[in-house]
């Protein structure tokens, strides 16, 4: 948990640093362009019109740029006569031209239409401009001057319009103020300008060629009540730039200005979300992976985080459609970082846990069985179980209690551990599962947790080896135990419930059922008989190999069962070749420290 909290804290800290340092500013701006693309083109507005000095104009007029200023005066007259509300002229007239008479014609037109005219500049000195020689003089007669510079974002894309530049209102702001007669407040622009709500790529807004206006070749009323932006729309004039909706193409300068004008007239349809929204999104998404990992597997945590990212992206787009630009890159980057960090922590913890489980489970089953079980359970020991046919073996060491009463505790534990080691090895070497120790008693199962078609044969083979190992053990203990220890072994086959029981904090593998209880009773029946191993008929009838050393004993009643159980016993209990090896391994118990 502490590691997960550390990942979340580190993610949050990096996210805050990213916000402060604007590491992802360019990527964030690209997502704004993507949001425009997902939204798609919008219907063009009817209150802004672009008049462009385009290729058609040059073909029609057969003149070079810059045009004589009398042509611009005639265009102003045409637009005014058709009822244009504002004539926003995105062409600079800051220096005298070589043709003084043409300059006079422009000045006369500017005076005639001053109250509806906005002229552009790209330079200012503390709010002073040189438009028509002296911008202040022009504004004194009712005209407006606007700074037509649109600052570019880090990737050279025009996305915002400022309120003012170098003390002069921006061209779009001046245009709107000229048309509405009201002051445009600075607040919606913030420190970085207001988002321009582009309706689509270049060519979306109503467009009329400069030459058509000059010649009067347009439908009457085309410009009535409109904000008309006049400017360059030709590659040779270099008034073009990429925008949020232009894609790989460029948009003409007057089109960008017209979109900015419409944005202001529409009361800024796109606005930045409050600063706390991005911080809140960062905090939530930094915590999500850790929260999920405490309840889901790593693969599901990954899928869950991908789902959260998709939901977050959808929410950002919905907010955009509602007119709110929410930051998304830093929160999603934080989600990605937190997800990777959380999965890395989970992988490390899982590796440790898998090894812990392996070590714990290996105490009860052979290593090969451990590998298969963990692979089947994805490295986890889970609560729950299954019903299957198994062979259950119970054993008990006879005479050990009396021996322990007269020996020091250290010696008793030493001898018991040596005995249990030998018997456990016999069980594990034959693929059995050691379920538990009960003092000097042992419970083992064959055929669980993995299927073993020959589980009966394995159990019987273990019983033989346990007797052989007991012989070697007694040989090692001959100086302490006269006559040696005896053993009782009961073997029974049937359906059992096998699985992990306990709690999430402590699990044990066990088997339960009537078959288990009967096997325990059968082991107890060996007391007072000359036999050390009793085998139930249910085990005998399913053996794959003949057991010539088994003899029929009798059908004996079993406490807790209505019917008896037919039992066989090992007729001879001979030493096996393994007993000599066992004797060497247990010799240490005959020489206590």
363: Cα within 13 Å, side-chain hemisphere: 11
503 found inside a domain: yes
Is the pTM value of this prediction over 0.95?
no
Q: Does 374 share its domain with 421?
A: yes
Whether residue 572 has pLDDT greater than 60: no
Interior/surface letters 159-179, b for 16+ CB within 10 angstroms, e for the rest:
bbbbbbbeebbbbbbbbbbbb
Q: Does 77 share its domain with 119?
A: yes
41 found inside a domain: no
Using CA atoms, how far apart are residues 119 and 94, in angstroms rounded to an integer? 10
Q: Does 323 share its domain with 449?
A: no
Q: Which of 271-285, 324-338, 498-512 has the lowest mean pLDDT?
A: 498-512
> What is the predicted pLDDT for the residue at 3?
62
How much is the average pLDDT of 216-222? 96
Whether residue 445 has pLDDT greater than 70: yes
456 found inside a domain: yes
CATH number, position 468: 3.30.70.1230
Whether residue 143 has pLDDT greater than 50: yes
> What is the predicted pLDDT for the residue at 214?
97
Q: Does 565 share its domain with 417?
A: yes
Of 116-130, 288-302, 373-387, 400-414, give the range with the top mean pLDDT. Answer: 400-414
> What is the predicted pLDDT for the residue at 501?
72
> What is the predicted pLDDT for the residue at 365?
57
> What is the predicted pLDDT for the residue at 123?
81
Q: Does 333 share its domain with 230?
A: no
> What is the predicted pLDDT for the residue at 498?
83
Q: Which of 91-105, 151-165, 181-195, 490-504 has the lowest mean pLDDT?
A: 490-504
> What is the predicted pLDDT for the residue at 369?
59
**Cα(first)–Cα(last) distance of the chain, in Å?**
47
How much is the average pLDDT of 117-134? 83
Of 74-88, 139-153, 504-518, give the range with the top mean pLDDT. Answer: 74-88
> What is the predicted pLDDT for the residue at 286?
82
334 found inside a domain: yes
The answer to whether the beta carbons of residues 507 and 435 sit under 8 Å apart is no
Phi, then psi, of 331 in degrees rounded to 5: -60, -45
Residue 331: domain span: 2-21+273-356
Residue whose token pair is 């090895």: 425
Whether residue 573 has pLDDT greater than 60: no
How much is the average pLDDT of 260-265? 97
Cis before 449? omega within 30: yes
Whether residue 65 has pLDDT greater than 80: yes
Q: Which of 91-95, 238-242, 341-345, 357-361 has the lowest mean pLDDT?
A: 357-361
Q: Does 377 share its domain with 514?
A: yes
3-state secondary structure of 187: helix
362 found inside a domain: no
Q: Which of 247, 279, 327, 285 is nearest to 31 (CA)?
A: 327
The answer to whether the beta carbons of residues 222 and 81 sit under 8 Å apart is no
Q: Which of the four pLDDT bands, split at 50, 70 and 90, describes residue 384? A: low
> What is the predicted pLDDT for the residue at 275?
86
Whether residue 4 has pLDDT greater than 90: no
Q: What is the dihedral of CA 571, 576, 582, 583, to 10 degrees?
A: 80
Question: With pLDDT > 90 as the criterion, what percentage of the chain qualifies?
Answer: 62
- Per-residue pLDDT tens over the stretch 318-345: 999 999 999 998 889 888 888 888 778 7
Q: Does 212 share its domain with 306?
A: no
Whether residue 2 has pLDDT greater than 60: no
Q: Does 311 share its domain with 207?
A: no
| Number of domains, the chain | 3
Name the token pair of 573: 């209990």
Q: Does 202 share its domain with 298?
A: no
Rg of the chain in Å (alpha carbons): 46
Residue 10 vs residue 458, higher pLDDT:
458
403 found inside a domain: yes
35 found inside a domain: no
115 to each of 31, 137, 163, 444, 487, how far by Cα in Å? Answer: 41, 13, 21, 103, 117
Q: Which of the four pLDDT bands, split at 50, 70 and 90, describes residue 209? A: very high
Using CA atoms, how far apart are residues 434 and 427, in angstroms rounded to an integer? 7
Q: Does 161 share its domain with 139?
A: yes
Domain finish residue from 316, 332, 356: 356
39 found inside a domain: no
Q: Does 183 share its domain with 298?
A: no
Using CA atoms, how far apart are residues 460 and 89, in angstroms rounded to an integer? 104
Q: What is the mean pLDDT of the chain?
A: 87
Q: Does 180 share its domain with 63?
A: yes
How much is the average pLDDT of 558-585? 64
């Amino acid at each position: 948990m502490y590691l997960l909290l550390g990942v979340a804290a580190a993610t949050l800290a990096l996210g805050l640093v990213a916000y402060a340092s604007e590491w992802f500013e360019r990527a964030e701006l690209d997502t704004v362009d993507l949001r425009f693309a997902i939204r798609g083109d919008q219907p063009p507005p009817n209150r802004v019109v672009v008049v462009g000095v385009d290729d058609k104009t040059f073909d029609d007029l057969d003149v070079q740029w810059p045009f004589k200023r009398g042509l611009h005066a005639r265009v102003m007259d045409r637009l005014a006569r058709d009822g244009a509300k504002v004539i926003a002229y995105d062409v600079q007239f800051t220096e005298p031209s070589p043709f003084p008479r043409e300059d006079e014609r422009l000045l006369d037109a500017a005076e005639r239409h001053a109250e509806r005219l906005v002229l552009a500049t790209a330079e200012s000195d503390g709010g002073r401009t040189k438009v028509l020689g002296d911008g202040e003089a022009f504004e004194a007669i009712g005209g407006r001057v606007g700074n037509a510079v649109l600052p570019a974002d880090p990737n050279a894309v025009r996305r915002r319009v400022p309120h003012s530049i170098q003390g002069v209102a921006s061209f779009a702001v001046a245009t709107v103020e000229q048309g509405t007669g009201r002051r445009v407040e600075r607040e919606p622009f913030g420190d970085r300008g207001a988002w321009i709500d582009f309706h689509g790529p270049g060519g979306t807004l109503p467009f009329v060629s400069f030459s058509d206006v000059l010649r009067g070749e347009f439908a009457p009323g085309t410009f009535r009540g409109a904000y008309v932006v006049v400017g360059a729309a030709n590659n040779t004039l270099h008034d073009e730039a990429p925008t949020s909706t232009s894609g790989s193409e460029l948009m003409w300068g007057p089109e960008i200005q017209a979109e900015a004008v419409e944005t202001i007239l529409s009361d800024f349809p796109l606005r930045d979300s409050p600063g706390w929204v991005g911080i809140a999104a960062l905090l939530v998404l930094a915590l999500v992976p850790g929260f999920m990992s405490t309840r889901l597997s790593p693969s599901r945590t990954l899928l869950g985080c991908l789902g959260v990212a998709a939901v977050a992206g959808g929410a950002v787009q919905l907010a955009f459609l509602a007119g709110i630009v929410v930051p998304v890159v830093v929160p999603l980057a934080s989600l990605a970082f937190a997800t990777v960090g959380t999965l890395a922590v989970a992988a490390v913890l899982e590796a440790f846990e898998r090894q812990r489980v392996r070590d714990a489970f290996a105490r009860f089953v052979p290593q090969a069985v451990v590998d298969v079980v963990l692979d089947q359970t994805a490295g986890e020991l889970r609560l729950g179980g299954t019903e299957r046919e198994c062979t259950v073996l119970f054993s008990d060491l006879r005479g050990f209690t009396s021996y322990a009463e007269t020996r020091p505790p250290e010696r008793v534990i030493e001898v018991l551990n040596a005995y249990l080691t030998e018997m456990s090895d016999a069980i594990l070497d034959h693929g059995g599962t050691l379920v538990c120790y009960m003092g000097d008693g042992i419970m083992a199962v064959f055929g669980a947790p993995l299927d073993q078609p020959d589980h009966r044969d394995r159990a019987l083979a273990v019983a033989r080896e346990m007797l052989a190992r007991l012989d070697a053990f007694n040989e090692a203990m001959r100086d302490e135990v006269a006559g040696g220890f005896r053993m009782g072994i009961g073997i029974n086959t049937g359906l059992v419930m096998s699985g992990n029981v306990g709690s999430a904090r402590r699990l044990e593998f066990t088997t339960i059922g009537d078959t288990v209880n009967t096997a325990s009773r059968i082991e107890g029946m060996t007391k007072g008989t000359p036999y050390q191993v009793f085998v139930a008929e249910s085990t005998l009838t399913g053996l794959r190999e003949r057991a010539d050393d088994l003899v029929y004993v009798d059908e004996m009643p079993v406490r807790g069962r209505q019917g008896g159980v037919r039992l066989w016993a090992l007729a001879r209990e001979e030493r096996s070749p393994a007993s000599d090896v066992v004797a060497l391994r247990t010799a240490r118990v005959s020489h206590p420290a």
